[in-house]
Amino acid sequence: MARHRSPSLRQTGFPVCLLFVLALGLGGLNSASAQSRLNRPPPRYLQLTPPDPQEGAAILRDLRAAGPAGDYYLEFDLRVLPRRGEETRVPGRLWGGRNREGPISRLALKIPSSADAAGANGPEFTERRILVQGGPRPAAWAWPAGAGDTTIVIDDAALFTPLAGTDLSAFDLQMPFLYWTDFVYEGKTRLQDRPTDTFLLYPPASLAARRPDLIAIRVYLDPQYHALVQAEQLGEGERVLKSFRVVSLRKIGENWIVRSVELRDEATRNKTRFVVTAAALELDFSGSVFDPGGLGASLAPPAKLTRLAE
């Protein structure tokens, strides 16, 4: 796969499209709505007069241009925090970068083979690998495909399926709504004592057909770091279906990364927290790392890692 480097921007980031996105031009609110305008929430303007849509388009362009210098590698835990019951953890690894389509990431999740599978050396695990392409033409792949040792495309029907019993899905990793062209800039507000720019984005027709209950997504962007700090999936009556928020940051050398992110299913009140445990930045992976046909091959971590203490 051909590689394309963006300018070396040292900005706060979370893997895949959550914060690392490629610049594209937008012309503001698209007049051709993907949904019936009778079935979507109106914007909640935060100032007395509606903000300038061209300013909003420029903010999104800056967000899409922000990203780390080079490729990166993360080790993490997905901490599943159910409303009732005990916490469980799914360890994982992530290789991230960018190609001509946009940000791309490869995940490897370590999943118990069964609830009670254990041998002399402890529980047995299988590895589930996910490749997620971000940008204006998002895509995703998974390995293995059921009982077969092959790679499959994750289609729209499976895009929202939770991964490994967590609240994380391929849709959460892609963050395709950052590229939706039908949006409204709602203006500036404060979130967690920081200034933020707020947008309401409406899904395209292809996605709306699969998820008619998802009528919009509201996002809050940090203007200093050009980063997403919170997102809410909205249903009928602006009811929040699922939320995402950045919990904490960590500086490694001259680079800031997101240390912890929380996803919350508002119906079940279950949460999953993504916590980075080790990182290596400013790397240079070969294109084969992000080849869908190569998901069946295992990858070794970089030799030098920065471990993050609790």
> Tokens representing 112?
């118990």
What pLDDT shows up at residue 64? 83
Strand partners, 191: 194
The pLDDT of residue 32 is 35
Closest-CA residue to 143 (of 300, 302, 291, 301): 291
Q: pLDDT tens for residues 183-223?
A: 999 999 998 888 999 999 999 998 998 899 999 999 999 98
Q: Compute CA 197 distance to the chain's CA centroid, rounded to the nearest angstrom.
A: 19
Question: What does the alpha-carbon distance between residue 38 and residue 223 come to, in Å, rounded to a whole number?
Answer: 32
- At residue 2, the pLDDT reads 42
pLDDT, tens only, 114-149: 644 445 555 678 899 999 999 889 999 999 866 567
Rounded CA-CA distance 170/131 in Å is: 9
Q: What is the assigned CATH class of domain 16-284?
A: mainly beta
Phi first, then psi, for residue 221 (nearest 5°) are: -115, 135
Q: Model pTM? A: 0.81
The backbone torsions φ and ψ at residue 82, rounded to the nearest 5 degrees and listed phi first, read: -70, 155
Q: Are 277 and 75 in contact (CB under 8 A)?
A: yes
Tell whether the torsion through CA atoms of 93, 230, 135 and 223 is positive or negative: negative
Instruction: Provide DSSP, 42-58.
Output: PP--SSSSPPPHHHHHH
Structure-block tokens of residue 241: 């279906």
Q: How far apart are CA 263 and CA 308, in angstroms?
A: 21
Residue 43 CB partners (closer than 8 Å, separation 6+): 50, 184, 186, 200
What is the full per-residue pLDDT of the chain (310 aa) written as tens digits?
A: 444 433 333 344 444 344 332 222 222 333 333 344 556 788 888 777 788 889 999 999 888 877 778 999 999 999 999 999 899 999 999 999 988 888 999 999 998 776 444 455 556 788 999 999 998 899 999 998 665 678 889 988 899 999 998 999 999 999 999 999 999 999 999 988 889 999 999 999 989 988 999 999 999 999 887 889 999 999 999 999 999 999 999 999 888 889 999 999 999 999 999 999 999 999 999 989 999 999 999 999 999 999 998 7
pLDDT at 146: 61
Dihedrals phi, psi of 175, to nearest 5 degrees: 50, 55
